[in-house]
Amino acid sequence: MNWVNELAAIVAVESTGVARAGHASDVSGHEAVWPDAVALPVSAGEVAAVLSWANDRRIAVTPWGAGSSVEGNPIPVKGGICLSLERMNRVKEIRLGDRLAVVEAGTKYRELNRQLAGSGWQFAVEIGGDATIGGMIANNAAGPKAVKYGSTKAHVLGLEVALADGRLIRTGGRAWKQSCGYNLTQLFAGSEGTLGVITEAIVKLTPAPAVREVVAARFGSVRAAVDCLGELRRLDAGAIEFLDRSYMEFLGEVVADTLFCEFHTAGHGEAAERICRAGGAESVERAGEELWRARLRAYTASQEANPGARLLTTDTAVPLGAFGEMVEFLQQELATRRLTGYLLGHAGDGNLHVILPWRSAAEWAAVEAFHGAAVRKSMELGGTASGEHGVGMGKREFLAAEHGEGAVAVMRMMKQMLDPRGVLNPGKVLPSQNVTYANGE
Amino acid sequence: MNWVNELAAIVAVESTGVARAGHASDVSGHEAVWPDAVALPVSAGEVAAVLSWANDRRIAVTPWGAGSSVEGNPIPVKGGICLSLERMNRVKEIRLGDRLAVVEAGTKYRELNRQLAGSGWQFAVEIGGDATIGGMIANNAAGPKAVKYGSTKAHVLGLEVALADGRLIRTGGRAWKQSCGYNLTQLFAGSEGTLGVITEAIVKLTPAPAVREVVAARFGSVRAAVDCLGELRRLDAGAIEFLDRSYMEFLGEVVADTLFCEFHTAGHGEAAERICRAGGAESVERAGEELWRARLRAYTASQEANPGARLLTTDTAVPLGAFGEMVEFLQQELATRRLTGYLLGHAGDGNLHVILPWRSAAEWAAVEAFHGAAVRKSMELGGTASGEHGVGMGKREFLAAEHGEGAVAVMRMMKQMLDPRGVLNPGKVLPSQNVTYANGE
């Protein structure tokens, strides 16, 4: 790879096997692909320089945050450059009076919250992985707290973005209210690094809740649990999670269809207890941190319990009222197809995951077929193939079915316009791009 | 206009002077321009047919909701077709269990809320004008409640959009959580009808507040009022409005720099009273509906008080912590320039309006110069030229200064891509498009 030396004149590059292997896969079951080289810029200028050069040379560039994505989003499927933002990890400004922080894209959200500890403020999105804020914006990650705070996209005031050809632009700004021109911020948010590389973000800060009341309610049926959701959603809920009986069994907890909720207003925990008891809960208790941590560790726990297996994770989100029907459908499908799957979800906003381990081609075919059935059912109910993991590699095939060919044609135009040579994160979001890259040379 | 007869074969058309004059101006001071004809489609299919035809013929098309915009957004500056959505005003679905409604774009938001009355649910954006939901989405309108609920864009789950060439596409969907492909919904929201015509929207429903505690606090100085904002924002505030002493005088109220707030949690009104008293308020009282109505009527009241005058309205929004500095700067500028201007704003999210009447070219030059100074100051503080009215005609000149040439170039590419013949709402958002239209023929 002669071009790696050229690249090394622009930016710090690592091309050892260790470095390449460490940037070849995320936590999904998608196959690892090594990049030819890992670029480690320390500034937006260096990111821009790498892109300008790679665009000229037609070398594939896959942006990398922390590699904690769940849908293959940062896997460099065409090789080329892994553009890691890990050295751009400075919290540049914390402005409590303006309720915002300015961070480099490679800043971990937990690091920002560590710096905010004790201030009464937080970056309000909380997810399982130790992700970077740039990656969370690019994937529009969400997690359990989204029922109260919305997905990551709702927390972005402005961005600095390096375009495919190396131009640096700024979108949005520091005002909380903006209605001045096309919303480029929200175009790049959720575009998974296929339209540009986020180098810096202005993010909202949110008051940290002063109260935290946690309630676990166990039900004899999915339907009984789901029937409580409407009333629970009217409380000041910071999270309304659902864990099905088989997943609780897997965790070694009491086997029951379980709602696990967090409330941020004093007395709302008690109100939730009343709602769940009236709704026929078999037991209701103030649960501690333990079950919460177990919930956040769902993915790694599934991995640990199935050594050697890969995982496929479904990410459907349906209209709120259809959540129960979706859960029952998936439980039924798992049973009929005799598949092992851990079913858990963000009941508060209709988002449901099934984590399915697989080991062989035959098992892959089976979980893949289940996935297709889940997505079709979600769409039939008016839902989406992806609530929070993004399209990545595994949801591309559903894009047209969900949005229609018309909308996908517009998405293609966006891609064509912003990345005409197709160098940015190839093989993600949009199906079948026919580009030949020079990085094999 | 021979083409008007052709158009009439596609869609209901009115071309009387009354109809044309009634679709020539919004509530801004921008000069009225008559469209050649008003098209009145009753379906998305008719909207698409009009666009397809107009695009082929290169006839300018300006979408129209209720004409209540404040920045010239729906004025058909190039003549041609006013595409009024007023006959597409059906609430198609209200789904409380899904927390959403599906409405045709011409539905007034007050009509949706009328249909929701008593249900415990609301469409949560409240603005002064009797606007259509399509228009509110297109302009990303906000109003006083945005401090709690966000701007209109935060309430849109999905859209049906007719593109310039007559293709109909759907964006988003019915799931509350979506991370599946580029966020086209947010691209069309706030694009002011320059990228496509919104024909239908899926909007979020929000619990109507069970509690409403209103507090008016009068201060001896702007600084004293503003110093309370940080603490007030931490309450469950449905609105935190600022009205400066000269505007209170204009309203015939007690002359003082006034905060006017609404809270949605029991006891928060009392907490706000304590905050304002501790902050040196001269008087604090539970105000009724009267001042609230006066606040919402700011624009029409300014108009009535200045018969024969036109109004220029500034719409800057600055970072939250800079609100006080912005207010003081504008008061000082009004005094120095000896201008009449009513200063009021959404203090909770940093958005400030000055309404300036003018009657002559000389007065126009003076208010225009003030406007420029206001926007420059806003940008200096990290703010925007438009918090909620959109770019329309009056803020175009500031677009590049605010976003930089790079971002504006991307906006131009969007426009070029989605409306290559430039037929959609010409003369808005982007400066200087050089298109010759056939509608003069």
Rounded to a whole number, what is the distance in Å from the CA of B96 to chain A's nearest CA?
8
Do B49 and B112 lie in a common domain? no
- Complex ipTM: 0.96
Domain containing residue B271: CATH number: 3.30.70.2190
Domain containing residue B166: CATH number: 3.30.465.10
Do A79 and A130 lie in a common domain? no
Q: Check residue A441 and give its pLDDT.
A: 65
> Residue B180 carries which side chain, given as an amino acid letter?
C
Distance of alpha carbon B90 from alpha carbon B434, whole angstroms: 37
Suggest the residue from A98, A176, A414 to mutate for an interface test with chain B (most B CBs closer than 10 A).
A176
SS3 state at B419: coil
**Partner residue opposite B175 with nearest CB, options A186, A230, A384:** A384
> β-strand B37-39 against B283-285: which pairing, if any?
unpaired
Distance of alpha carbon B386 from alpha carbon B71, whole angstroms: 10
Q: Check residue B439 and give its pLDDT.
A: 86
Q: Is the CB of A186 inside 8 Å of chain B's CB atoms? A: yes
Distance of alpha carbon A195 from alpha carbon A415, whole angstroms: 6
Q: What is the pLDDT of residues B234-247, one digit of tens each?
A: 999 999 999 999 88
Rounded to a whole number, what is the distance in Å from the CA of B252 to chain A's nearest CA?
30
Distance of alpha carbon B224 from alpha carbon A139, whole angstroms: 43
Structural domain includes residue A308:
no
Q: Check residue A184 and give its pLDDT.
A: 98
Is the confidence at residue B253, as pLDDT, over 90?
Answer: no
Do A276 and A235 lie in a common domain? yes
Do B189 and B107 lie in a common domain? yes
Q: Check residue B301 and give its pLDDT.
A: 83
Pick from B353, B371, B391: which residue ends a domain?
B391
**Cβ burial A409-435 (10 Å sphere, 16+ → b, else e):** ebbeebbebbbebbbbbbbbbbeebee
B310 forms beta bridges with B358
Domain containing residue B326: CATH number: 3.30.70.2740
Q: What is the pLDDT of residues A162-211, one digit of tens each?
A: 999 999 999 999 999 999 999 999 999 999 999 999 999 999 999 999 99
SS3 state at B374: helix
**Partner residue opposite A170 with nearest CB, options B173, B349, B403:** B403
Name the band, by pLDDT with cuts 50, 70 and 90, for residue A299: confident
Dihedral pair phi/psi, residue B238, rounded to 5°: -85, -15
Do B244 and B266 lie in a common domain? yes
Show the domain range for B35: 2-86
Number of domains in chain A: 3
Answer whether A174's CB lies under 8 Å from B320's CB.
Answer: no
Structural domain includes residue A402:
no
Structure tokens at B103: 């409405």
Domain containing residue A46: CATH number: 3.30.43.10
Structure tokens at A26: 């995320």
Q: What is the pLDDT of residues A424-441, one digit of tens each?
A: 999 999 976 677 888 876
Structural domain includes residue A78:
yes
Do A235 and A130 lie in a common domain? no
Sequence-distant (≥ 6) Cβ neighbours of residue B40 within 8 angstroms: B11, B12, B13, B14, B84, B86, B87
Do B81 and B95 lie in a common domain? no
Q: Is the CB of A173 inside 8 Å of chain B's CB atoms? A: yes
Is the confidence at residue A327, as pLDDT, over 70?
Answer: yes
Mean pLDDT of chain B: 95
Q: Check residue A433 and give its pLDDT.
A: 67
Answer whether A137's CB lies under 8 Å from A339's CB.
Answer: no
CA proximity to A216, closest of A150, A266, A147, A263: A263
Mean pLDDT of all residues in B341-351: 94
Structural domain includes residue A424:
no
Q: What is the pLDDT of residues B45-84, one digit of tens each?
A: 999 999 999 999 999 999 999 999 999 999 999 999 999 9
Q: Check residue B57 and give its pLDDT.
A: 96
Q: Count interface pairs A-B at CB distance under 8 A.
A: 262
Asked if A382's CB is within 8 angstroms of B177's CB, the reply is no
Pick from B154, B180, B207: which residue ends a domain?
B207
Strands (E), B362-420: none
Distance of alpha carbon A223 from alpha carbon B117, whole angstroms: 29
Do B200 and B98 lie in a common domain? yes
Do A196 and A214 lie in a common domain? no
Answer whether A110's CB lies under 8 Å from A122's CB.
Answer: no
- pTM greater than 0.90 (yes/no): yes
Q: Check residue B252 and give its pLDDT.
A: 84
On chain A, the residues whose CB falls within 8 A of the CB of B234 are 207
Structural domain includes residue B405:
no
Asked if B429's CB is within 8 angstroms of A181's CB, the reply is yes
> β-strand B156-162 against B168-172: which pairing, if any?
antiparallel
Mean pLDDT of all residues in A406-425: 97
Structure tokens at B127: 């603005």
Nearest CA in chain B to A182: B191
Residues 306-335 in B contacting A (C-alpha not used; CB under 8 Å): 315, 317-322
Q: What is the pLDDT of residues A101-142, one digit of tens each?
A: 999 999 999 999 999 999 999 999 999 899 999 999 999 999
Structural domain includes residue A423:
no
Q: Is the CB of A420 inside 8 Å of chain B's CB atoms? A: no
Pick from A52, A86, A120: which residue ends a domain?
A86
Structural domain includes residue A388:
no
Higher pLDDT: A252 or B199? It is B199
Do A98 and A188 lie in a common domain? yes
**Partner residue opposite B177 with nearest CB, options A142, A163, A176:** A142
Q: What is the 3-state secondary structure (H, E, C) of chain A?
A: CHHHHHHHCCCCEECCHHHHHCCCCCCCCCCCCCCCEEECCCCHHHHHHHHHHHHHHCCCEEEECCCCCCCCCCCCCCCCEEEECCCCCCEEEEEHHHCEEEEECCCEHHHHHHHHCCCCEECCCCCCCCCEHHHHHHHCCCCCCHHHHCCHHHHEEEEEEECCCCCEEEEECCCCCCCCCCCHHHHHCCCCCCCCEEEEEEEECEECCCCCEEEEEEECCHHHHHCCHHHHHCCCEEEEEEECHHHHHHHCCCCCEEEEEEECCCCHHHHHHHHHHHCCCCEEECCCHHHHHHHHCHHHHHHHHCCCCEEEECECECCHHHHHHHHHHHHHHHHHCCCCCEEEEEHHHCEEEEEEEECCHHHHHHHHHHHHHHHHHHHHCCCECECCCCCCCCCHHHHHHHHHHHHHHHHHHHHHHHCCCCCECCCCCCCCCCCCCCCCC
Structural domain includes residue B193:
yes
On chain B, the residues whose CB falls within 8 A of the CB of A184 are 407, 410-411
Residues 139-168 in A contacting B (C-alpha not used; CB under 8 Å): 139-142, 146, 150-151, 153-154, 163, 167-168
Q: Is the CB of B401 inside 8 Å of chain A's CB atoms? A: no
Do B330 and B280 lie in a common domain? no
**Partner residue opposite A179 with nearest CB, options B100, B386, B410:** B386
Name the band, by pLDDT with cuts 50, 70 and 90, for residue B99: very high
C-alpha distances in Å from residue B301, one per residue of A264, B247, B252, B297, B399: 41, 11, 12, 6, 30
Suggest the residue from A152, A177, A242 to mutate for an interface test with chain B (most B CBs closer than 10 A).
A177
Do A198 and A228 lie in a common domain? no
Rounded to a whole number, what is the distance in Å from the CA of A5 to chain B's nearest CA?
30
